[in-house]
Amino acid sequence: MTSIGIGLCGLGTVGQGVCEHLFGNRALLQQRLGLDLAVVAAAVRDVAKPRRLPADATTVRITGEWRDVVDDPRVRVVVELIGGLDDAFDLILAALKAGKTVVTGNKALLAERGAEIFAESERQGVPVFFEASTAGGIPIIKAVREAFVVNHFLSFHGIVNGTSNYILSRMTDAGLEFADALAEAQREGYAEADPTLDVNGWDAAHKAIILASLAYGSWLRPADLSVAGIDLVSADDIRFARQLGWRVKLLASIRARDAGVSASVWPTLIPAGHVLASVNGVFNAIMVRGDVVGDALFYGRGAGGSPTASAVISDLADAATALVSGGVPRCSGFRPHALYGRALPPGELESRHYLRLAVDDVPGVLGQVAGALGANGIGISSALQPEEHDSGDRAQLILMLDRAKESQMQRAVAELEALPCVRGTAKLLRVESFGS
Ligand code: NAP
Ligand code: HSE
């Protein structure tokens, strides 16, 4: 049987998962693919660190230098699972220049430098696979690239960061504090080594950039997105949203309109009865709307060693099959085109909003707040002042607002925070009811 040599760079949460399942299900893979996926070399930062590797993996050469893996003549597919930006970029470029197929799960790198990586892939005629970069074990990249190839994508709505969904779920259902829920997510291997990007929305934004770029044919820049994270959300917001019939989720939204493509990630109130409201824990879900297929929904584990390994190994199977058949696969990588025009500036994005203000509990306050919103063209669709949250001379005012552009909202919030009757900073979340 033909054997394809695999070089694994990184033996952390995902790399160890890949190793475990490549060895554990080797016979199954051989039967299904008619070839053998053989890990022959691996690179780590610290070779002395104890690791959980399968017994059969003793044949794998482990080195402290990723260049050894790229240069190893037995290696035909290089898997980049070291994370980070600079070394990972150098590694991928070195592999492509050496004519070795690349598999990566590095969403931060693809979001920042995807255009350069795919340009090099095109120049070298060597494919880059990246299923594990978006939504863990859910095969969304393959679906967008292959299964839905005939569709114009009208929208994507997704919960694509397992860590923040885990934290929001634990805060909602178990009443946990933010810090305790984050510590749990770290123990489970869902959070990044530095969880800042998980909680400030940027990990989800990186995935939104990859999906939007793939769907709309031009690589979005981070500055094209409007991004906020769950570090904005308090237990009070979760409670108020529940009282009003909503759930709070970190929602990535991508849309194509006549004016261009828009992408954003925001903590968002969604109807409690909507299917995405029941996506809890580390699970991810993505709702795709195409002009031919209509609505399609994907659900699965969005993080962790095994689900992500499942995505990496699916790429390895495609890469190895293409190598054996002697061709570049039909749909690998990213091919730029200009069918959808520019990315809309974030200030142009429109949505409904939830606004929470701490205000002086005196007559006339609601009028002043409504006046500032009205002066910016923003209507109020409902207002709530929960009496149990009145404290002495202070009250909480919760307003559900009509649709407005982000630039309008920013102006209105600045004016509201300058009013003498408004205390502290305003809390602004988005509201999505999933109309057309
Ligand atoms: P991790 O647990 O931190 O593992 C990183 C691995 O890379 C470690 O084995 C580390 O070596 C090695 N490494 C780091 N820098 C290196 C260098 N310069 N040269 C050689 N080896 C190096 O990370 P992870 O969670 O597995 O994530 C890996 C990648 O997959 C990241 O891009 C991440 O964003 C992405 N991803 C992760 C998940 C997830 O659920 N964790 C899901 C999807 C995608 P040592 O072990 O010696 O420190
Ligand atoms: N930290 C990421 C998450 C890993 O929690 O979703 C998967 O990309």
pLDDT value, residue 414: 97
Q: What is residue 158's three-state secondary structure?
A: strand
Average pLDDT, the chain: 94
Please tell me the distance from the alpha carbon of residue 188 to that of residue 194, in angstroms, as a whole number.
Answer: 14
Nearest to 199 by CA among 230, 170, 227: 230
pLDDT value, residue 272: 96
Q: How far is the CA of 315 from the centre of ligand 1 (A)?
A: 17
Q: What Rg do the C-alpha atoms of the chain give, in angstroms?
A: 24
Residue whose Cα lies nearest atom 4 of ligand 2: it is 303
Residue whose Cα lies nearest atom 4 of ligand 1: it is 12
Residue whose Cα lies nearest atom 1 of ligand 2: it is 191
Please tell me the distance from the alpha carbon of residue 421 to that of residue 436, in angstroms, as a whole number.
Answer: 38
User: Mean pLDDT throughout 227-231?
Assistant: 95
Q: How far is CA 405 from CA 340, 348, 353, 369, in A?
A: 21, 6, 10, 18
Q: How far is CA 225 from CA 1, 201, 408, 431, in A?
A: 48, 11, 17, 17
Confidence category of residue 334, pLDDT binned at 50, 70, 90: confident
Please tell me the distance from the alpha carbon of residue 190 to that of residue 164, in angstroms, as a whole number.
Answer: 9
Residues in the chain: 436
The finding on whether 193 has its CB within 6 A of some atom of ligand 1 is yes
Atom of ligand 1 nearest to the CA of 14: 26
Angle at 296 between CA 291 and CA 301, to 5 degrees: 145
The finding on whether 203 has its CB within 6 A of some atom of ligand 2 is yes
Do the strands 246-257 and 260-271 form a parallel or antiparallel pair, or are they unpaired? Answer: antiparallel
Q: How far is the CA of 250 from the centre of ligand 1 (A)?
A: 24
Pairwise pLDDT comparison (231 vs 369), residue with the higher score: 369
CATH level 3 topology of 144-301: Dihydrodipicolinate Reductase; domain 2 (3.30.360)
* 101-136: pLDDT as tens digits: 999 999 999 999 999 999 999 999 999 999 999 999
pLDDT value, residue 435: 76
Nearest bound ligand to CA 103? 1
pLDDT value, residue 330: 59
pLDDT at 94 over 90: yes
The finding on whether 300 has its CB within 6 A of some atom of ligand 1 is no
Nearest bound ligand to CA 8? 1
User: Mean pLDDT throughout 326-342?
Assistant: 76
Q: How far is CA 360 from CA 300, 365, 389, 412, in A?
A: 45, 7, 12, 18
Q: How far is the CA of 134 from the centre of ligand 2 (A)?
A: 9
pLDDT at 162 over 60: yes
Q: What is residue 377's three-state secondary structure?
A: coil
* Domain at 2-139+305-325: CATH code: 3.40.50.720
The finding on whether 14 has its CB within 6 A of some atom of ligand 1 is yes
Pairwise pLDDT comparison (333 vs 248), residue with the higher score: 248
Confidence category of residue 141, pLDDT binned at 50, 70, 90: very high
The finding on whether 131 has its CB within 6 A of some atom of ligand 2 is no
Burial of 160 (0-12, 13-18, 19+ CB in 10 A): buried
Domain residue spans in the chain?
A: 2-139+305-325, 144-301, 349-431
Name the token pair of 179.
Answer: 């810090």
Helices within 98-201 (DSSP H only): 107-124, 140-142, 162-173, 178-187, 196-199
Please tell me the distance from the alpha carbon of residue 34 to that of residue 89, in angstroms, as a whole number.
Answer: 32
The finding on whether 12 has its CB within 6 A of some atom of ligand 1 is yes
Residue whose Cα lies nearest atom 34 of ligand 1: it is 106
Confidence category of residue 178, pLDDT binned at 50, 70, 90: confident
pLDDT value, residue 333: 74
Atom of ligand 2 nearest to the CA of 134: 8
Please tell me the distance from the alpha carbon of residue 245 to that of residue 274, in angstroms, as a whole number.
Answer: 11
Residue whose Cα lies nearest atom 31 of ligand 1: it is 83
* 29-71: pLDDT as tens digits: 999 999 999 999 999 999 999 998 999 999 999 999 999 999 9
Q: Which CATH number fits domain 349-431: 3.40.50.150, 3.30.70.260, 4.10.410.60, 2.60.120.10?
A: 3.30.70.260
User: Mean pLDDT throughout 354-369?
Assistant: 94
